[in-house]
Structure formats: structure tokens, C-alpha cells
Amino acid sequence: MNPIIHLALAEDIGAGDVTTNACVRPETQATGVFLTRESLTLAGTAILTEIYREIHLHHKDGETLPPNTPIATVHGSARQLLEVERTALNFLQRLSGVATLAHAFVERVAHTHCKILDTRKTTPGFRELEKAASAAGGATNHRMGLYDAILIKNNHIAAAGSVSRAIANTRAASKLPIEIEVRTMDELDEALAYQADHLLLDNLSPREAKAWIKRIDGRAKVELSGGITLETVRDYAETGADFVSVGAITHSARAVDISFRLELA
């Protein structure tokens, strides 16, 4: 079992579910159904298969489902089904919320070549799960951590001394593609002169971003970021950017409404 699932179950059940153990006889068997209460994009079904021994999944991660759609049916001891109910729902609602928000962003830019990226702004300990949910919604995973991609941010540039030094130092130490954040036209020109592979433009308006992208003229991939919302993402994607990164997909997704209905077997 995934350690995060084990921790979540231990956190909720503790020494035992006193309510269920008091009112439900140990031999009672039951069936439970997870049911959508609103339209959503599904994610987190792998969690269910780790929690439940007897389970039938009706749908897969990445499917967009209307309200009142059965997601999965589980069977077993009524006591066991009841004691894990809240934990299972917490995972399923949270991860489907991430997938649903990611899907909404992806839909907004589907008419362009721009891809939606997620970020490292994830719930501590949940990154692998939230990144998988983001991908289920159609977003593209950016780096998983500090270990698998180069991204030189403004504080790295300050520590290195300049854009050119940051790129030169990085190129001498690593063969990974170099992405660098630039905040001024001078930094932009310096990054292009030193052949950065990927430029991060932060906190520009769509109009400003379009002008910067015209100046870049295909010499590097372009990523836009900085408070981009569902209301503004279309305008940013239409600037010609290759990527728009959206931290909100993982740090601000609303848990969707999913219910669990139990009946005696």
C-alpha cells in the first residue's frame, strides 16, 4: 500500500472506529457505490484499488462524467467499508478536483498549440498523486522535483551574478536543457545570446507577452506564468506561447462532490 494511504487511514481510524464497531455487527456484509454528485473529470481510482479488496471500477481516470454516475462498486464487511469511507472519499474528491480543474484549463486552450503545465505547488507528500491527477485532466507534468529538470529562477540568477553566468555555470555542470526566467528585455536578450533552450516569462500581460514572444522569434521555447486564471488563460495561449504554467491546478483545486452509498449485501 502507498505509504500516504496508510498514513491517511491510520490518522482517521486510529485505535478503531468506535461508532461503527458499536452499532454494526461484525458478520454484516455490504455493498457500496461511489457516485458523482456533479460533473467532473475522474482521478484517483488507483487509490480505491489499494484500499478495497473487492472492487469493480466502472470508469477510468481521465473520463469526464456527468452527475449521478457510478464510479466504482465495492463489496465486503460493512464495518470495513464504513471505516475507510471518509479516507477513500477524501482522496477521490481531492484528486478528481485537480483533474477537473486541469481539464477546464486544457479545454480553454484547445484551439491553440499551447500546452498547460502544472507546477511544484503541490500538497506536501501528495505530489505524485496530484501530478497524476493533473495529467488525467490533460495537463502536461512539468518537473516532478528539483532533481529532474533545470529551471533557473531569479534568485538563482542573483546568486550566480547574472543571466550569462547562470547559464554558463549550468551548461558546464549539466547536459539537461536549460530553462531560465527572464524579467527584463536585457535579460531576455542575454538569455538568447547564450542559447537558453526555454524561457520563462512571469507576470506579463497578454499584450506584453505577445511582444516578447515576437522578439524571441522561435529562438527558444516560451512558457508564461504568474496568476493565470481560467478567465485569462485563452488570451495568454493566443500570444503564441508554447506553454502556460498554472500553479492553481494543484494548489487551489476545489474538491468535487462525490458520495458513497452503502446497502446491505
| Pair (218, 260) in one structural domain | no
* Structural domain includes residue 117: no
pLDDT band at 241 (very low <50, low <70, confident <90, very high): very high
Which grid cell is 102? Answer: 486541469
Catalytic residue chosen out of the listed positions 115, 153, 183, 210: 153
Catalytic residue chosen out of the listed positions 115, 121, 171, 183: 121
Share of the chain above pLDDT 90, in %: 99
86 is catalytic: yes
What pLDDT digit, counting tens, does each position of 28-68 carry? 999 999 999 999 999 999 999 999 999 999 999 999 999 99
Domain tally, the chain: 2
* Structural domain includes residue 27: yes
Catalytic residue chosen out of the listed positions 17, 61, 85, 181: 181
> CA 93, CA 102: separation in Å to the nearest integer?
14
| Pair (163, 205) in one structural domain | yes
Helices (H), the chain: 3-13, 18-23, 45-51, 78-108, 127-136, 154-160, 163-173, 185-193, 206-216, 233-237, 248-251
pLDDT band at 14 (very low <50, low <70, confident <90, very high): very high
- Asked whether 178 and 150 are in contact (CB, 8 A), the reply is yes
| Pair (90, 145) in one structural domain | no
CA 16, distance to chain mean position in Å, is: 33
Residue 265, pLDDT score: 84
* Structural domain includes residue 125: no
Quick check: 1 pLDDT over 90?
no
| Pair (149, 241) in one structural domain | yes
Catalytic residue chosen out of the listed positions 12, 63, 202, 257: 202
Compute the C-alpha angle 4/10/16, nearest 5°. Answer: 160
Mean pLDDT of 2-11: 95
Q: Which whole-number Å values give the CA distances from 249 to 117, 134, 153, 239, in the listed order?
A: 9, 7, 21, 21
Domain region containing 96: 3-106+254-264
Catalytic residue chosen out of the listed positions 12, 50, 86, 183: 86
> CA 177, CA 199: separation in Å to the nearest integer?
11
Residue 45, pLDDT score: 98
What pLDDT digit, counting tens, does each position of 70-122 carry? 999 999 999 999 999 999 999 999 999 999 999 999 999 999 999 999 999 99
What pLDDT digit, counting tens, does each position of 172-203 carry? 999 999 999 999 999 999 999 999 999 999 99
153 is catalytic: yes
Residue 74, pLDDT score: 98
| Pair (156, 97) in one structural domain | no
Residue 68, pLDDT score: 98
202 is catalytic: yes
> CA 177, CA 191: separation in Å to the nearest integer?
13
| Pair (11, 99) in one structural domain | yes
